[in-house]
Structure formats: C-alpha cells, structure tokens
Amino acid sequence: MFMKRILFLISFFCISFLLFGQNQAHECRLGFSYNISSHYYWGLAKPVVTSVHIDSPAAKAGLKINDIIEQINGMPALGLYSGRIAVMLQENRFITLTVSNLEYKNKELTFSKDCSLMDALNEKQMASAFSSYSLENVQNKTFDYPFITKLQECPQINFLDYKTFGFKKNDADNFPNNRIKTILEKKGLIYSTKKPDLYVSTNYLLGDSEQLFMLTISFIDPKYSTEETPYIVWQCSANENVNIPLMLMQYPYPQTLETARFHYVKKKYNYTGIYFDIDDFQKIVYVDHVSPAAQAGIKTGDIILKINDIKMNPKKSSHNPAFSYLFNFKSEPDNFISFDLKRGKQQLNIQVEPIVMEFESLETQ
C-alpha cells in the first residue's frame, strides 16, 4: 500500500501541471518570489530567491530560498531589470532556471507554473479558509527576533567562494558549535579542520540573570585576517531568546539587518482532488485527472449534497461544517470520505480514499 501511494503521488505531481482545459479561465503563479541583489557578497545584480511557496512546482523541482538565478530559460540574468525578468518568467508555461547556492553552482531546474482555475477553490486553499476546524494542522504565523546582522560589503567578498568552515579551537563538540556545524552542513558548507575558508567564532555575554545573555556568531575570513584583527565577513548577534537556527538563517542573504522577521506556515489536510465553485460550494467545477476523487468516479459538474452525512450549504458566506472532512484523519483501512452527489437525475454515493498532504516551511521576510 505504501509503494502504491508513492507511485500515485509521483504520477500526480508529474501530471498535475497540465492545462485544465482550453475553455476554462485559469491563472498561473511562479511558485516563488525574488528580488534583485544589490550586494557584492551574494548575487550582485542578479535575482535572488526570497520565498518558495510550499507544495508548488518550484519547491518540488528543488528551488531553494537564497538561490541566485544565473539564467532564465538559457538567458543570463545578470543586469536584467525587474520588468524584463517579469516578462521572461511570465511568457512561458515551463521555466528553466540555472541557479547557484552554497551547495551548488549552475544547477538547472525545470518546472511549470502553478495554475489554478480562477472561479474555483482547491483543497489546499480550502484548508486555509476553514482552518478553524483544526488550528493545530493549519498555521500561519509571523514573528520577530531582535537580531543584529553585520556583513562585509566589498568587491572581494563573495560568499559563493566559501566552501569549507571550521572553528578556531577545532572544537565542534560543544554547544553552540555542534548546532552551528549541523546547520552549516545542511546549507551545503563542508566542515574542515585544515585551513578552512571560514572560521566560526562564538561569544557569550551573560546579562543580569542567567536567563538573559547575548550570543554573537562571527564568520572570519583567514585570508584577510591578522592575529590582532580578525576579518569578519558576517556576524549575527541576539540579546534575548537566542535561537541559533534562526540566527543562521541570516546567512548568506539576510532580508533585514535588524529585528529579523520570520514567517511560519504549516498545512495538513485530506486531498481528494476536487475543485469547488467559489460562489457555490456544492458545485464541482473540476477534478484532477489522476486524483483519488477521479479514480473513485467523481466528475466535473457533480453537485455535492452531503459529505460524511453532513449536508452542504451552498452559500459562500455560510459556515460549512461539511468541510471538516479536510481534517478528519482516519487510520487505514477506514480512511474513506463519503460524498453524496447529484449527477443529472441520478443520486450517487461515492467513497473516496484521500491522500494526507502535509507541508511546513519557515522563511525570513
């Protein structure tokens, strides 16, 4: 059963980018956001990815936050103005990006835009709209941390050139160095005890109580350092609520240098593949071709009378308890959702076995 679900998901992700139909209006999104860097240390005059939308084609293709976009559909992105980049990204359904990051250089990623019907809501959108049914499974939070970040802004400093890192005392087994080592390795840097490109230095200052202290993490370039004066290329300090993973999210391309802002998104919901009419939730305006609903026999144009024996209310502004099915996670083998439908003069009951979709992301803003 597990392998069957994996194969189904692969098929779904490969096919779901196809057009919904020639006569149906739809809108397409890129699945990521970017800005043009004005900094020597990271992608100067090139687009840099600042956000990747969860469960988007861009995310599935492997696009990551902080990726420097080197080429768009084979054309160099260096020096292109924002309007031209926007046109290049919008004019084709399929996009090939050549990107660089701490982990790789000039990696090609190809994906389609994320398209949806303009007059419909899918279950991912519905999960957000009806999140009051399950606050623990759908969350959308923005919060701030009082970080102060400093960077060396000069032509000879390019963070892409730093591939290895180490610690001044060659000690990666204490706190916080063990945390820092794990996080930097996940970013793509390689730990080395022999002449690394970067030395990591940590410094604690205790405050008035043991619960309040300042932590400063510094990245030092040994090529430009002396014994008396370390050449610090990146530094982040926190004076309260120290959180090392969040601090290191400021490297290599911080969105702000003071009071860093973070956005956390979590979604877990039952996916059947149904698109609901935005003006009349009883109407099914589209069914993904390889979805559980399609496999069970639900069709575009069907009218929903009940879901799990809960009567549907077609009014857009009404509270629709029928949509609690999105968060009704049952254990196999009883993981079925019951749809009572009207199709022409027929009334049908169709049982659909959903796929539980679960996504989580944390980004800087």
How many domains, in total, are found in the chain? 2
Residues 104 and 172 in one domain: no
Residues 97 and 53 in one domain: yes
Give 96's pLDDT tier (boundaries 50, 70, 90): very high
Residues 258 and 154 in one domain: yes
Q: Where residue 177 sits, what CATH number does that domain have?
A: 3.30.160.670
Residues 70 and 110 in one domain: yes
Residues 30 and 72 in one domain: yes
Looking at residue 170, its pLDDT comes to 58
Q: Which residue has better confidence, 25 or 127?
A: 127
In a domain, 299, yes or no: no
Looking at residue 240, its pLDDT comes to 63
Give the percent of the chain with pLDDT over 70: 87
In a domain, 326, yes or no: no
Query: Considering only CA atoms, which of 68, 52, 50 is closest in space to residue 60?
Result: 52
In a domain, 206, yes or no: yes
Q: Is the pLDDT score of 340 beyond 80?
A: yes
Across the chain, mean pLDDT equals: 86
Residues 113 and 151 in one domain: no
Lowest-confidence region among 3-12, 109-118, 154-163, 292-301: 3-12
Residue where one domain finishes, among candidates 262, 287, 304: 262
In a domain, 354, yes or no: no
Question: Model's pTM, two decimal places?
Answer: 0.80
In a domain, 79, yes or no: yes
Residues 156 and 245 in one domain: yes
For 358, the 3-state DSSP assignment is strand
Query: Considering only CA atoms, which of 168, 195, 167 is closest in space to residue 181?
Result: 167
- pLDDT, tens digit (0-9, with 9 covering 90-100), for 286-320: 999 899 999 999 999 999 999 999 998 766 555 68
Residue where one domain finishes, among candidates 117, 132, 157: 117
In a domain, 201, yes or no: yes
In a domain, 242, yes or no: yes
Question: Which range of residues forms the domain containing residue 44?
Answer: 26-117
Looking at residue 23, its pLDDT comes to 44
Residue where one domain finishes, among candidates 262, 293, 323: 262
Q: Which ranges in 16-170 belong to alpha helices (H)?
A: 57-61, 82-90, 123-129
Q: Is the pLDDT score of 215 beyond 50?
A: yes
Residues 252 and 206 in one domain: yes
Residues 157 and 72 in one domain: no
- pLDDT, tens digit (0-9, with 9 covering 90-100), for 167-209: 987 565 677 888 999 999 999 999 999 999 999 998 877 655 5
Residues 107 and 216 in one domain: no
Q: Indicate the helix (H) or strand (E) that contains 183.
A: helix 177-187
Maximum average pLDDT range among 14-28, 121-135, 139-153, 320-334: 139-153
115-125 average pLDDT score: 82
CA distance 291 to 54: 19
- Give the tokens for residue 201: 């230095």
Residues 149 and 231 in one domain: yes
- pLDDT, tens digit (0-9, with 9 covering 90-100), for 125-169: 888 888 877 888 888 889 888 889 999 999 999 999 999 999 987
CA distance 136 to 123: 17
Rg of the chain over Cα atoms, rounded to whole angstroms, equals 25
Residues 257 and 149 in one domain: yes
In a domain, 172, yes or no: yes
Q: Is the pLDDT score of 346 beyond 80?
A: yes
Q: Is the pLDDT score of 336 beyond 80?
A: yes
Looking at residue 319, its pLDDT comes to 66
Looking at residue 301, its pLDDT comes to 95
Give 25's pLDDT tier (boundaries 50, 70, 90): low
Length of the chain (residues): 365
221-232 average pLDDT score: 93
Lowest-confidence region among 246-255, 271-280, 324-333: 324-333
Q: Where residue 95 sits, what CATH number does that domain have?
A: 2.30.42.10
110-115 average pLDDT score: 85
Looking at residue 8, its pLDDT comes to 39
Looking at residue 6, its pLDDT comes to 39
Q: Is the pLDDT score of 19 beyond 50?
A: no
Give the percent of the chain with pLDDT over 90: 53
Q: Which residue has better confidence, 15 or 202?
A: 202
